Structure 1
Amino acid sequence: MPETLRLLQAGAGGMGRAWLRNIKQNPDVVLAGLVDLDVPLARAAADEHGYAEVPVAASVAELAERTGAEAVIDVTVPAAHPAVSVDALLRGLPVLCEKPLAESVRECLTMVAAAEASGRLLMVSQSRRYFRTGEAFGGQLAGLGPIGSLSCEFSKAPRFGGFREQMAEPLLVDMAIHQFDLARKLIGSEPLSVYCESYNPDWSWFAGNAAADAVFRFDGGARFVFTGSWCAPGLETSWNGRWRASSADGTAIWDGDSAPVVENASGPAVPAEIGTGPEEIAGSLAEFVQALRTSSTPQTEVHTNVVSVAMVEAAVRSSASGVPVRIADVVSAAYAEAIETTPAGVLLEVLRSWSSVQQVVGLPEKY
């Protein structure tokens, strides 16, 4: 890989602008082009961030070859992720895609198929994995041994306006994937099932369910309990949530921002070791570049990230049905739907080649 990676960015909205600033600050990458369906918006965003000479267009196809792009950052709206990322992959371009990977597990599986068909990396930017104090928390949990219980309390009161306030499940679908995904990293195993109840308090300014309680059962017996609300004014938590983990050897807590604290059942407490690496989306981009340089597998490579989306989908189904939902059942149903709806071609061929979709995404097959 060249010393400086030439990037095409797709998406020039609010999050797209955050990524433009991120690219500007990273010496290992350079912006080769900016794509948005609203081309004047793309031109304005590029100019505002010091990219007056960078070409803009309405599609990756228009810029991929003539700019010499070597990778794509997909910062489009979630509904557009499958089309944009799959197109880039099949053009031979590795992709770093904003979370969530897609709006459904079915679409996620077609994106996995595209990555396999192209032989190119598809990584998801789960930016909340890249907090220095959060990584220190994970380090302390590793020292405590197998985690028996993990909990996250998330309480915020944002007034977004727009589409979020009209969604049927705004908290679960738009926010909770951050905490669900992080729970997988912290526990170090995969979720098996979830029981969830979502609801909307009387005072909520959201049309859909802005609060939820979910209990996930993990392989190995651990439980992850999520209690969240987007209409909880006063004494709000960090955007990362407030965390507590316990094992036979002790307990660790993290407020989502500050250094975590641990107390051992016996012996001295393990101090928090705070690193110096890049955080949030800067951390995502740094790992993406490193993965391309070394041919290593990043922690949020597409195959494994499907499970985080499946956690969200399973929680929504559980709330609607009133019963626990197995993660493997969600993935299996999505796979059957993907086989049925994917047009004939290379993606369908890859999907049909899988002997076990659970094995493909890393779920324990014994369940």
Structure 2
Amino acid sequence: MTKLKVAVIGCGSIAQHRHLPEYASNKNVQLVAVCDIVEARANEVAEKYGVKAFTDYKELVKSGEIDAVSVCSPNYLHAPISIEALSNGLHVLCEKPMATSQEEAEAMIQAAEKSGKKLMIAHNQRFVRSHQIARKLIENGEVGKIYSFRTAFGHPGPEGWSVDGKNSWFFEKDKAFIGAMGDLGVHKTDLLRYLLGEEIVEVGAFVETSSKEFADVDDTAVCVLKTESGTIGTLAASWSFTASEDNSTIIYGEKATLRLEDNPTYSLVAQYTNGEVVNYELGKIQSNDNGGQKNTHVIEEFVGAIVEDRDVPISGTEGMKSLAVILAALKSNDTKTIVRV
């Protein structure tokens, strides 16, 4: 079988920690090129993987040398690069948040439809074992009616993990468009939609900068969310959890409470109203901390969808629905009103 020829655009931390090593270890993939606006970085990564280096993404996507790309650029370039790649007949895996506006997201989806190529958004929380099992428990009625939920994603901030530290694009509004809410919050809006099997329809949010004085984006956000069936819960996203990472979700149901990634030993704890407790030991969630799972399953799902010509698990439309919640949260904070998604 001929291998899928892949390039990675943007050689920052997410590319170096996730996309590149996962492509390199995938038997169906031939890594062909990398691209970064910083020439020295592009060359260094290219040398490490024995591939070609580019500094201009347009030149790369028009080169005729590749079948698919990962878009790991700053957020404001997600849509332009993805659209350019799709328009040149390439499959696209785009990091989250997929775009900086509804219009951009729609343009990406249209470009994918027009080209007949696959567009997948890298929402990796759907591939975490505890989240998948919890979804099944909710789906098959074991939890009963969902009464409420709370989810949090927080860590000390990108300066500890971005290749550029405090000078990272993550902290610049014109490049990131949104801070912790876009970096972490969008993961959790996607997770809640996946777990609950329904859409979030109303958002009330406070979005602030409390710990990163040098940043011109938010570093802490707390949202109240309401689903289409009327369930309410909270979402917190923060770069100000300075001691350790929190990546937990709790679902409060009629028959059980599910605690996901809330216990250091058990990835999922199901506490039933009859007193029974089931502990699931599933290994640590993907994380930048030591011991976190190294394989996010995003790359294998993307490659598998292309090779087997099946639908990607997280389409552009799914990415847009998760983005819409974040955009509503920003609007809620700006207008001091509850916003319909």
Deviations 1:314-339 (A, max 9, x none): 00110111111111xxxxxxxxxxxx
Q: Which runs of 5+ in 1 are unaligned?
A: 328-367
Aligned to 1:130: 127
2:331 to 305, 317, 320: 317
Q: Tell me whether 11-20 or 212-221 shows the greater mean CA deviation.
A: 11-20
Q: What amino acid maps onto 2:193 in structure 1?
A: R
Q: Residue type matched to 1:245 in 2? A: I
Q: Distance in 2 between matches of 1:10 and 1:154?
A: 26
Change (3 A) 1:187 1:59: same
Aligned to 1:95: 92
User: CA 1:23–1:81 in 2, change beyond 3 Å: closer, same or farther?
Assistant: same
Q: 2:271 aligns with which of 241, 263, 272?
A: 263
Using structure 2 for the length normalisation, give the TM-score. Answer: 0.83
In the alignment, what sits opposite 2:37? 37
Q: Judging changes above 3 Å, is the alpha-carbon distance between structure 1 residues 132 and 35 closer, same or farther for their aligned structure 2 residues?
A: same
Output the CA distance in 2 between the equivalents of 1:212 and 1:267.
34
Tell me how far 1:3 sits from its aligned partner: 4.9
* Aligned-partner Cα distance in 1 for 2:305–2:285: 16
Identity of aligned residues (%): 24
Per the alignment, do residues 136 and 81 of structure 1 end up closer, same or farther by CA in structure 2, a change over 3 Å counting? same
Task: Indicate yes or no: 2:114 matched with 1:117.
Answer: yes
Instruction: Return the alpha-carbon distance in structure 1 between the equivalents of residues 185 and 104 of structure 2.
Output: 19
| Structure 2 SS opposite 1:144 | coil
SS in 2 for 1:150: strand
Question: Could you tell me whether the CA contact under 8 Å between 2:250 and 2:258 is conserved in 1?
Answer: yes
Match of residue 77, structure 1, among 74, 80, 90? 74
1:226 aligns with 2:240: no
Aligned to 1:4: 3
Which digits, 9 at most, give the CA deviation of each residue in 1:71-126, with x for residues without a partner?
11111222112121111111111111111111222211110110111111100111
| 1:140 and 1:262 in contact (8 A); partners too | no
5+ residue gaps, structure 2:
160-165, 287-292
Distance 1:232 1:83, change over 3 A: closer
2:182 counterpart residue number: 173
- Write the deviation string for residues 228-272 of structure 1: whole angstroms up to 9, x where unpaired: 4322434x443xx22210111111112356421002224854553
In structure 2, the residue matched to 1:27 is 27
CA distance, structure 1, for counterparts of residue 40 and residue 156 of structure 2: 34
Matches within 5 A, 1:184-333: 184-201=193-210, 205=213, 207=215, 208-234=217-243, 236-238=244-246, 241-255=247-261, 258-266=266-274, 268-270=276-278, 272=280, 274=282, 282-327=296-341
Contact 1:75–1:97, Cα closer than 8 Å, also in 2? yes
Task: Give the distance between the partners of 2:284 and 2:182, measured in 1 at CA.
Answer: 31
Q: 1:40 to 1:71 in 2, by over 3 A?
A: same
Q: What aligned pairs does 1:13-24 form with structure 2 within 5 A after superposition? A: 13-18=12-17, 19-24=19-24
Q: Deviations over 1:7-34 (max 9, x none)?
A: 1221223322222222112222110222
Pick the structure with greater CA Rg: 1
SS at match of 1:297: coil
CA offset at residue 58 of structure 1?
3.1
* Aligned-partner Cα distance in 1 for 2:80–2:65: 21
Report the residue type matching 1:187 in the other structure: L
Structure 1 pair 228/92, CA: closer, same or farther in 2 (3 Å)?
Answer: closer
Q: Decide whether the 8 Å contact of 2:94 with 2:121 is kept in 1.
A: yes
**CA distance in 2: counterparts of 1:99 and 1:11, whole angstroms:** 13
Q: Would the alpha carbon gap of residues 237 and 31 (structure 1) be closer, same or farther in structure 2, given more than 3 Å must change?
A: closer
Q: Structure 1 residues 149 and 78, CA, compared in 2 at 3 Å: closer, same or farther?
A: same
Cα distance in structure 1, aligned partners of 2:209 and 2:76: 25
Question: Mean alpha-carbon deviation: is it higher for 111-120 or for 191-200?
Answer: 191-200
The alignment's C-alpha RMSD in Å is 2.8
Equivalent of residue 105 in structure 1, options 88, 102, 107: 102
Structure-1 separation of matches of 2:59 and 2:296: 27
Counterpart code for 2:52: P
Aligned letter for 1:32?
V
Q: 2:123 & 2:298 partners in 1: Cα distance?
A: 7
Partner Cα distance (2:100, 2:190) in 1: 15
